[in-house]
Structure 1
Amino acid sequence: MKEGIKRDGLSPMTACRPVECIEKGAGWRRNLKRHGEGAAALLCGLLILVAWLTEGNAGYVSPFLYLVAYVVGGFVKAGEGIMALYKAGKLDVNLLMLFAGGGAAVIGFWMEGALLIFIFSLSGALESYSEQRSRRDLSSLLSLQPQSAWLWTKAGERRISIDALKIGDVVAVKPGEQIPADGTVLEGRSEVDQAAITGESVPVDKEAGNQVFAGTLNGQGSLFVRVDHPASESTFSKIVQLVEEAKTQQPPVQRRIDRLEGLYAWSIVAVTLWLILVPPFLWEWTLQESVYRGMVFLVVASPCAVVASIMPAVLSAMSWGARRGMLFKGGAYVQSLGEVNVVAFDKTGTLTRGELQVTDVLTFGAEDDKELLAAAASVESLSEHPIARAIVTQANQRGISCTQPESFRSKTGYGVEAEWNGTTWRLGKPGWLAGDEEAEELCRLEGEGKTVICIRSDHGAVGLIALRDTIRPEARTVVRRLKELGVQVVMLTGDRRQAAAAIADEVGIDWVEAELLPEEKVNALHRWQRRFGLTAMVGDGVNDAPALAVADIGVAMGAAGSDVALETARVVLMHDDLNRVADAIALGKRTGFIIRQNLLFASVVITCLITANFLGVISLPFGVIGHEGSTLLVILNGLRLLK
């Protein structure tokens, strides 16, 4: 294959990729978008300070500076408020604050109105910061997205866009390049850094027959890769889609507040007009006093702190999770995770690694365990069955050499038969080979949930080899942590009941449902939902897809290699680490606590300020400080989740 490759093309290491070129040209626009709102808020504050210092000494200079501060600080929020009113007929807190600031200026309180606009714009800048931080962390992988590939043909190689790649195309991946598409290695050998997709910290050896993923980084070798999925269906593209979905989803509490915000805002305007027009006739207030109390009410009754209680906290939580490989399809699922009462785990590939490992080698004849393992590994060396691979691996780890058998026959559904060293050997299921002499040990091993292989030769019973799926080292820890969080832990598996019970006992799971078909897992989840409420399902995203879809929160372990994981799960754990399940639940609970904390604090402050205004014991400056100060505090409280 390599002889036809041309090496005189433009080196991918020196070529400017389209994304890089665009970013260089658009850097100033990105920086303006990222920092513009904060800069405007700080400039507004500086103008207010200068205006305050020049009050009474420079004629109209001070009012002019206050006016400029109004424009600089309120421009962004005014645009948002006007667009909301124009497109949806919705009066939101942005316009309320601008009305309050303008009203304060009309009655001569330039300083107070400008201070209101400054603090409001500062709180808006902090909210924007939390949103941008969340999106930046969620989208950090997007900078790794490949843009082009070296397409290999008999005529040589040429550079093309990854969008032009088709299934079956062969691409050449040079040292240090990103792998452009999900595919299978046809030729070559190299180490590939898969941290961006799987979270593995150590590069993985890749050779012919191994699967590779778009966006991962090739090491020092060259690879020729057959494209298995078009760019739009690669694991990387699905991550992009997940990130885009996450940007549009809101938690239920936020949606309820958004629905009530418009009605509440119109109510505030109505009460403000009533305070301005009616009290002079009822309580002999002066018009100036009525307007003043109306402006104070407009400030203190606005639900800025309530509105800001949720999204900064949720976005900060999503940002924290994204940096640790936890991708949420939206803010709704962050909050819902905190309310989960049951976590159901699949066994194979989730609580375990899905890789069989030899645990026991027992002999009944003259051979010792090394001789038995040598015979078994030699016989199984021609088989690709997972049990055969585990036996050969165990022999290699113990330094036992294997030689190929003289003949080899597979007995479908039973085992294998082979001639080795002049003797006929049979390896297979206990029902095919087991006799009375193995019965006691066989019963014990199967009672421990192990898969048992019987070995016989021409001379009769030789021994037993027991295997079991490898439990993830963190499985016991994560089950204990979930129980400490008050969550019930369940295992739902299609494996044998004895094997499932043994794994459950080892990791500390109390509830086990075994020998379930995929549709039976769905029925089991429905039963747990009726019994305990909100339920999360953790699986590998392949045969668990129906259960992941029906669970209140589907959590997919390891996105790489699982085509349905990003489609059915609500949360994807990019790092193949079970501890992230407990981290995600704890993050949801922490987020819910901070949201409730913020809403209670904001409601109490608004109630106290409104009461004080009707009693006539609060001035406009204190109303501004109390209202906007509470807004800043709830935003800063939510931003704590970034750490």
Structure 2
Amino acid sequence: MQAMNKRLPQAKKITISRTKLKLTNEPNPQRNKRSIILNLLKHKEMLQALGSGALMLGAWAMHDLSPVVSVFMYVFAYGVGGWSKAREGIETLIKEKDLDVNLLMIAAAMGAAAIGYWNEGAMLIFIFALSGALESFANDRSRKDISALISLRPETALRIEEQGMRRVNVDELVPGDLLLVKPGELVPADGTVQGGRSSVNQASITGESIPLDKAVGDGIFAGTVNGEGALYIEVTQAAEGSLFTKIISLVEEAQSEVPQTQRFIEKFEGIYARLVVGVTASLLILSPLLFGWSWNETFYKSMVFLVVASPCALVSSIMPAMLSAMSNGARKGVLFKGGAHLENLSYTSVVAFDKTGTLTRGCPEVTDLFVEEGFPANQVLRAVASAEHLSEHPLARAIVLKAESEGIELLQAKNMRALPGWGIEAEVEGVIWKIGKPQGIEVPLSSSLSSALRRLENEGKTVSIILKDKLAVGLVAMRDNIRPQAKAAIAHLHRLGIHTVMLSGDHQRTAEAIGNEAGVGQVYGDLLPVDKVSYVSELRKQHGHIVMVGDGVNDAPALAAATVGIAMGASGSGTALEVADVVLMNDDLERIAAAIFLARRARKIVKMNMTFAIGVILLLIAGNFIEGLALPLGVVGHEGSTILVILNGLRLLRS
């Protein structure tokens, strides 16, 4: 601790020379070529699908003119559209010793070609490749990245040692180390304040909109931002044990979980593929013995079965409907990062909201100005706003904005200084004005001021006391007000039979005031990010599928832990946007209920499509064995059902 009293080294003077940069608009052929190649690779699957379709149409057009050329074009159509899927199917067969739908579709197409139905096989390849490309596009958008969160982690710390101060990597810190955190710097480790006073912005951890004052003995978190004063901090947790590191770990852990629906689909795909291949092989071997069919008849019926049993219609039952719903939502400012999230949203039973920046605007506003008799309110507001004009504190900005909104012209303040842990003081027109927290003042309050103070604090508002010289003359109350559409958004969710919850890092009393005003069912305050994750997990156990809505870095773990995470797009942090599954691009909370209703519609249509597709497949299979279904009719029936389920899914494009 003796090192704390040593004089800090003087900052070195740095001279920066300016160099004129020559700007040129000359094209770079190498760079343009590389950019074109990267764009093509990015959309490779879609280009392959479209190329396969174009070759299929060209081969069909050339059939009468030149059958040989037509066959060659069909072969190219098979290769262009089916190469990637065939490779995936072969890799699954070799590495996992399992069959999948990719290999089944290629086999069905080759079987059709083997008996002369090139166009039908090419159509199967084209539709399957196109649906695969669209599915890959949706999956790419669902990739989550926490690079923005990791970039907020402090890398170095100023450690105080016997020989002086030394800049070290945060990984070298151990409990007991003494650190100096200068104004405006990130706090490098969890610890306890040992010296100094300052306000600390903890929005990255707790989501609180108003910086908290820190003094000796107070705890402090890594990743928070120090305010106007220097702080001496004793490290209590190593870097890997800090709360900020735990946030990152929680996000990574939640993102690594595979949804149950996805596991079921993958398992069903393998079973279905093996079943169809097994039945086809059995038909080829046993039909001549059991039914007395000729080899030509056996092969023909087996290929018809392979074609009509192919899951093309089943695959198209899901993605076109999901993509149409996603497109519908995007037009209204709701961005889904994948079809799986849309499906999960349809099962929503609880929606949990963050408070600051989600249900509220994210910045404090002056709600009440109470002054003693004999002191004009406008004059008091002018003096206080003039004194606060040079401060960057959120509460100071709120007071200045209030004065400006009422057309009050500010005066010049002199000798303005911060009073650490309390507030500020300044001289305005020869009078000393002070504004700060009611706690810790030695000036007596009148009964009217005391009554107003209790009332305002019970309403969950942040209250500052105004002193003129050494006389308490008034109170100014501020609160982070709810968004205009918050009440309607909550009401819409309740009409859909969905419970609502608010999870906030603010004090319980403040959180309850906001929650009650918005109409939220349950309110939980004083929560850290770890607590929010615990509540989300508990709500999932009680109610099933839960949606979490948030906007800040501190909401990222809860967003990732929820069934579906929804982030505020306009005001949300980069990390929240990356972690979330759904983004409200215009921060319109009323779109949450609309998105859930849209998801429920999509689920209903998907069920309808799958029932229809399975029914058609069973009907065609029965027709093949009972009446001897012709292959062209089998392809028309199967592809016709595919077109119908696609068109049914496209209905979701409408409002």
TM-score by length of 1: 0.70
Supply the distance in 2 between the matched residues of 1:102 and 1:459 (Cα, whole angstroms).
Answer: 93
- Contact preservation (8 Å) 2:352, 2:500: yes
Q: 2:286 matched to 1:278?
A: yes
Correspondence list, 1:135-534, <5 A: 253-314=261-322, 331-408=339-416, 410-431=418-439, 432=441, 434-457=445-468, 460-534=471-545
Question: CA deviation digits over 1:455-504, x for unaligned, max 9?
Answer: 34358553332222132233233323333443322111122333323322
Amino acid at match of 1:44: M
AA at the equivalent of 2:34: I
**Any idea what SS the aligned residue of 1:506 has?**
helix
Residue 603 (structure 1) aligns with: 614
After TM superposition, give the deviation of residue 77 of structure 1 in Å. Answer: 4.6
1:84 corresponds to 2:95: no
- Separation of aligned partners in 1, 2:327 and 2:81: 24
Q: Which one-letter code corresponds to 2:406 in the other structure?
A: R
Distance (whole Å) between structure 2 residues aligned to residue 416 and residue 32 of structure 1: 61
Query: How many positions carry a matched residue from both structures?
Result: 528
Please give the secondary structure, in 1, of the residue aligned with 2:505.
coil
In 2, the alpha carbon distance for the partners of 1:254 and 1:65 equals: 43
Measured in 1, the distance between the counterparts of 2:30 and 2:590 equals: 38
Is contact 2:461-2:510 (8 Å) kept?
A: yes
1:253-290 Cα shifts (integer Å, max 9, x gaps): 45533433344333323322333443444344444433
Does residue 127 of the first structure (1) align with residue 127 of the second (2)? no
Equivalence for 1:41: 53
Secondary structure at the residue paired with 1:471? coil
SS at match of 2:516: helix
Q: 1:255 to 1:120 in 2, by over 3 A?
A: farther
Separation in structure 2 between the aligned mates of residue 313 and residue 377 of structure 1, nearest angstrom: 56
Q: Structure 1 counterpart of 2:127, which letter?
A: S
**CA deviation profile, 1:108-133 (whole Å, cap 9, x unmatched):** xx3xx234214313413542563576
Corresponding letter in the other structure for 2:644 = L
Label 1:25 to 1:541 Cα distance change in 2 as closer, same or farther (>3 A): closer
Identity across matched positions, percent: 43
Cα distance change on mapping 1:35 and 1:495 into 2, 3 Å: closer
What is the root-mean-square deviation in Å for CA atoms of aligned residues?
A: 4.2
Match of 1:217 in 2: none
List gaps (5 residues or longer) in structure 1: 55-60, 140-241
SS at match of 1:353: coil
Q: Secondary structure at the match of 2:476?
A: strand
Which has the larger displacement, 499-508 or 296-305?
Answer: 499-508
In 1, Cα distance between the equivalents of 2:510 and 2:415? 33
Q: Deviations over 1:400-437 (max 9, x none)?
A: 22334454554444444454444444433344464312
**More divergent stretch after superposition (531-540 vs 274-283):** 274-283
Where 2:391 maps in the other structure, the secondary structure is coil
Is the 1:429–1:452 contact (alpha carbons within 8 Å) kept by the matching residues of 2?
Answer: yes
User: Relative to 1, partners in 2 of residues 1:250 and 1:639: Cα closer, same or farther, differing over 3 Å?
Assistant: farther
> Is structure 2 residue 26 aligned with structure 1 residue 10?
no
> Closer, same or farther in 2 for the Cα pair 1:123/1:490, shift >3 Å?
same
Give the Cα–Cα distance (whole angstroms) in 1 for the partners of residues 128 and 532 of structure 2. Answer: 46
**Closer/same/farther in 2, CA of residues 413 and 37 from structure 1, 3 Å limit:** closer
The 3 A distance-change label for structure 1 pair 21 and 470 is farther
3-state DSSP of counterpart to 1:544: helix
Q: Distance in 2 between the 1:520 and 1:37 partners?
A: 47
Give the equivalent residue in structure 1 for 2:3. none
C-alpha distance in 2 between matches for 1:617 and 1:127: 30
Checking the alignment, whether the CA contact within 8 Å between 1:378 and 1:404 is kept in structure 2 is yes
The answer for unaligned runs of 5 or more in structure 2 is 1-13, 144-250
Alpha-carbon distance in 2 for matches of 1:18, 1:500:
57
Distance in 2, matches of 1:257 and 1:72, equals 31
Kept in 2: contact 1:130–1:316 (CA 8 A):
no
TM-aligned CA distance change 1:346 to 1:36, over 3 Å: closer
CA deviation map 1:26-45 (0-9, x unaligned): 78888986545334324424
1:521-560 matches, cutoff 5 A: 521-558=532-569
How far has the Cα of 1:9 moved from its partner?
A: 0.6
Report the CA distance shift for 1:357/1:269 in structure 2 as closer, same or farther (over 3 A): closer
Q: What is the SS of the residue equivalent to 1:305? A: helix
Q: Which amino acid aligns with 2:120?
A: L
Deviation at 1:582, TM superposition (A): 4.4
Alpha-carbon spacing, 1:286–1:25, altered in 2? closer, same or farther (3 Å): closer
Cα deviation digits, residues 540-591 of structure 1 (max 9, x gap) = 2323344334333333334888464366544455555445544554454444
Q: Which amino acid is 2:134 matched to? A: S
- Cα distance in 2 for partners of 1:523, 1:92 equals 38
User: Structure 1: how far apart are the matches of 2:518 and 2:29?
Assistant: 48
Mapped to 2, the partners of 1:268 and 1:128 lie a distance apart of 20
Q: Deviations over 1:589-613 (max 9, x none)?
A: 4443343333222212112222222
CA positional deviation for 1:528: 1.8
